[in-house]
Amino acid sequence: MQLSLLIKLGAGIWTPLTVLFGWLTSLMYEFFGSYGMAIIFLTIIVRGLTVPLNVRSQKAMMKQQALSDKQAEIKRKYPDDKQKQEQELQKLFKENGISTLSGCLLPLLPILFLFPIFYVVRCPLQYVTGVSEANIKAIGELFNIKSATADNISVINFLNGNAGAMVTAVGKGLIKAEQVLDMKFLGLDLGVTPSWNPKIIASNVSLYVPLLIIPALTLATTLVQTFIMNATKPDAKKKKEEKKRAKLNPANNQPDDPTTRTTKIMGIVLPAIMLITTFSMPAAFGFYWIVGNLMSILQAILSYYMFTKPYEAKKRELEEQKKNAFKKKKPALETAGAAGSGKKKK
């Protein structure tokens, strides 16, 4: 009863997005006739919504890197006053139209989208195939299925495994046969929750052992995504070298900006959260996250070659021009100095 109430309250908060994501999943399911393919294309659409924000964030990050000299100057000017440093840095960013807040919030967007996805995955009869909550509740009461409205998967599994119950439910007009989704995809039952418990795995080896690939891929793709995103950031190599120098000389160590701090925290916390979640949710939830991670990796690589790499090449070109200009200026000054000293000797 408490779980049902909690699910209902949460669904109420996220209702608009949940209904939208459920409708999109329904369209994909009708088109492909596959629940797995519906999840894949739902992920592509949902993550695609964040692409413009990611591009904007990438440009803001490069703009911030272009001000690295001024940032370093502020840190040198106020080495012992971290509060003043932060104030001056925020002022610099504001004057140049850079919002650090968007950089902090962007990594959180995929997590915010998880809430409506949670309800779509947990209650596919209601949000994907359009069975009313009253009918789902009636089915639960008819066959003594606990928390049927909070967890439609239990209803789907029961009806799929009990032909007599399916006939009864359809005959009473509570559900249509085509509304009971086929949750299987590539040999995996996406409606079943993966388990790490040896007893549960041993109870149905052919079902639970293949499902272990979902948590494994969720963790692996999350870690790879974090590594790729950090490696493709503007001036990633330069920052790595600066950290090495800071270890040798702690006086050179500088505090991380808000975006970097958020990214670091997310890089540690997120893999742990997702691993735990995949063992407590239907496999479809982990499958959604795996596809989303693969999209993020691809997006990070494309952004690197489209924005970051040209930016770094241009920056190196400007630095070379400065060096060459300084080299030309230095001999001229030396020649002028030599000529002046020659006149004095005469």
Q: Nearest Cα to 194, choosing from 294, 277, 111?
A: 277
Query: Residue 338: inside a domain, yes or no?
Result: no
Query: Residue 122: inside a domain, yes or no?
Result: yes
pLDDT for residue 71 is more than 90: no
Q: pLDDT digits over 305-324, tens only?
A: 887 777 777 767 766 766 77
Residue 101: per-residue pLDDT? 57
Query: Residue 340: inside a domain, yes or no?
Result: no
Ranking 173-182, 200-209, 335-344 by mean pLDDT, the lowest is 335-344
Query: Residue 333: inside a domain, yes or no?
Result: no
- pLDDT above 70 covers a percentage of the chain that reads 67
User: How is residue 208 written in tokens?
Assistant: 């639970």
Q: Nearest Cα to 44, choosing from 306, 301, 293, 219?
A: 293
Residue 37: per-residue pLDDT? 92
At 226, the amino acid letter reads: T
Q: pLDDT digits over 105-164, tens only?
A: 566 666 778 888 888 888 899 999 889 999 999 999 999 988 888 888 889 988 988 889
Residue 217: per-residue pLDDT? 94
Distance in angstroms (rounded) separating the CA atoms of residues 270 and 309: 28
Mean pLDDT: which of 3-7, 66-70, 330-334, 337-341 is highest?
66-70
**Average pLDDT for residues 65-72, to the nearest whole number?**
68
Query: Residue 164: inside a domain, yes or no?
Result: no
Residue 209: per-residue pLDDT? 92
User: pLDDT class for 3, splitting at 50, 70, 90?
Assistant: very low
| Domain count across the chain | 1
pLDDT for residue 187 is more than 80: yes
Distance in angstroms (rounded) separating the CA atoms of residues 264 and 253: 17
pLDDT for residue 215 is more than 90: yes
Query: Residue 115: inside a domain, yes or no?
Result: yes
Q: Nearest Cα to 125, choosing from 193, 198, 174?
A: 174
pLDDT for residue 302 is more than 70: yes
Beta bridge partners, 188, equal 185
CB 311 within 8 A of CB 59: no
Distance in angstroms (rounded) separating the CA atoms of residues 182 and 88: 58
pLDDT for residue 212 is more than 90: yes
Mean pLDDT: which of 3-7, 59-63, 326-330 is highest?
59-63
Query: Residue 167: inside a domain, yes or no?
Result: no
Q: Nearest Cα to 59, choosing from 261, 311, 300?
A: 311
Query: Residue 245: inside a domain, yes or no?
Result: yes
pLDDT for residue 103 is more than 60: no
Q: pLDDT digits over 11-55, tens only?
A: 556 788 888 999 999 999 989 888 999 999 998 888 887 777 777
CB 189 within 8 A of CB 183: yes
| Residue ranges making up the domain that contains 26 | 2-129+181-323
